[in-house]
């Protein structure tokens, strides 16, 4: 057979590029551009962040500004703090403009009756955040006395950002968070719980105590801005679960609060981890006893809840 040179040149190419007109290319470019813009718009959309408006004592500006920056790095929110002198907090006639604004949280020097200065508002005192060391004139000439003025936290109960306000207040009182900033500025701190973005309050209770916990736990959790987790179990199952958890390497799985029948006395292996709250004669309905975990990260909160239960 005779060899024919360059025979491959006579065969049609495997791929033939399409022939587009200028109009087609323009329309195609516009389509690609619009698609890219649509995708970019979705990617660039920023979620709406909660905005926390705070009215605070000007003496606390240093530690509050530092705590604000640290908090915003851990939680996605915007915090606006407006500072006033103590004289303005104690002079209602100077607060006309401030009263008209929607404040989520007040951090103010202790006032004899805060609600007298903000009548008609649903504000609730939460706790002291820290104590400012102030100098006042003594009774004799050229002498001064040092006093501690507490910085009090009040929340607006009608605020849409109540949960965020409670979270920031817990952050300020936490020993490794806000309290560090106050200590560095010379303030005296408070002894409160460690801070968590979403603190979980774990409760184990016998099934017979269902009526006690069903409503009050939810109300307390809402007031404190925590997440309750209540497990109602039969007595034997409750002890079996607790004993298993005490053997775990991570003791944080243990519940913060345990509610047991007043009799019989619980087993001895429970007491290295829990303290009997009935030592203060707080026995619910004469039938149940509360046991608080000794090393609970929410120890102060658990104690407060236990007092609330016993008082009601």
CATH number of residue 118's parent domain? 3.40.190.10
Q: Is residue 303 domain-shared with residue 244, that is, in the same domain?
A: yes
Q: Is residue 145 domain-shared with residue 24, that is, in the same domain?
A: no
Three-class secondary structure of residue 141 per DSSP: coil
Q: Is residue 90 domain-shared with residue 175, that is, in the same domain?
A: yes
Mean pLDDT over residues 233-246, rounded? 92
pLDDT one-digit tens code per residue, 179-206: 999 999 999 999 999 888 888 999 999 9
Residue 191 domain flag: no
Range of the structural domain that residue 66 is part of: 51-184
Q: Is residue 170 domain-shared with residue 234, that is, in the same domain?
A: no
Instruction: Note the pLDDT of residue 86.
Output: 81
Q: Is residue 145 domain-shared with residue 229, that is, in the same domain?
A: no
Q: Is residue 29 domain-shared with residue 79, that is, in the same domain?
A: no
Using CA atoms, how far apart are residues 212 and 217, in angstroms rounded to an integer? 9
Share of the chain above pLDDT 70, in %: 74
pLDDT one-digit tens code per residue, 272-311: 999 887 654 455 667 888 899 999 999 999 888 888 877 7
Mean pLDDT over residues 32-49, rounded? 68
Instruction: Note the pLDDT of residue 225.
Output: 83
Backbone angles phi, psi at 297, to 5 degrees: -65, -15
Instruction: Note the pLDDT of residue 169.
Output: 94
Q: Give the 3-state secondary structure of 241-279.
A: HHHHHHCCCCHHHCCCEEEEECCCCCCHHHCCCEEEHHH
Residue 2 domain flag: no
Q: Is residue 19 domain-shared with residue 90, that is, in the same domain?
A: no
Residue of 260, 258, 256 whose CA lies nearest to 288: 260
271 torsion bin: left (phi>0), alpha (psi -120 to 50), beta (else): alpha
| Residues 6+ positions from 50 with CB-CB distance below 8 Å | 77, 78, 161, 164
Sheet with 144-156, edge to edge strand ranges? 78-84, 51-57, 105-109, 144-156, 123-137
Residue 1 domain flag: no
């Amino acid at each position: 057979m005779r060899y024919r040179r360059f025979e491959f040149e006579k065969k049609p190419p495997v791929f033939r590029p399409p022939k587009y007109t200028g109009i087609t290319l323009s329309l195609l470019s516009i389509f690609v551009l619009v698609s890219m813009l649509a995708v970019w718009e979705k990617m660039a959309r920023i979620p709406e962040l909660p905005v926390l408006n705070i009215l605070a004592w000007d003496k606390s500006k240093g530690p509050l500004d530092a705590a604000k920056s640290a908090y915003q790095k851990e939680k996605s929110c915007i915090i606006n703090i407006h500072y006033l002198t103590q004289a303005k907090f104690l002079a209602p006639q100077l607060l006309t403009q401030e009263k008209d604004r929607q404040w989520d949280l007040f951090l103010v020097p202790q006032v004899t009756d805060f609600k007298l200065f903000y009548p008609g508002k649903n504000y609730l005192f939460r706790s002291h955040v820290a104590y400012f060391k102030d100098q006042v004139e003594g009774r004799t000439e050229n002498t001064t006395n040092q006093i501690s003025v507490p910085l009090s936290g009040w929340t607006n109960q009608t605020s849409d950002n109540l949960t965020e306000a409670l979270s920031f207040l817990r952050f300020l009182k936490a020993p490794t968070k806000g309290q560090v900033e106050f200590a560095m500025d010379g303030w005296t701190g408070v002894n409160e719980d460690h801070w968590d973005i979403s603190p979980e309050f774990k409760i184990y209770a016998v099934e017979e105590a269902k009526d006690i916990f069903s409503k009050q736990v939810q109300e307390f959790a809402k007031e404190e801005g925590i997440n309750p987790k209540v497990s109602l179990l039969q007595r034997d199952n409750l002890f079996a679960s607790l004993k298993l958890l005490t053997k775990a390497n991570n003791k944080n799985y243990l519940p913060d609060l345990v509610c047991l029948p007043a009799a019989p006395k619980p087993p001895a292996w429970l007491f290295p981890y829990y303290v009997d709250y009935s030592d203060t004669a707080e026995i619910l309905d004469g039938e149940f006893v509360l046991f608080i975990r000794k090393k609970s990260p929410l120890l102060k909160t658990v104690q407060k809840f236990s007092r609330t239960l016993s008082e009601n």
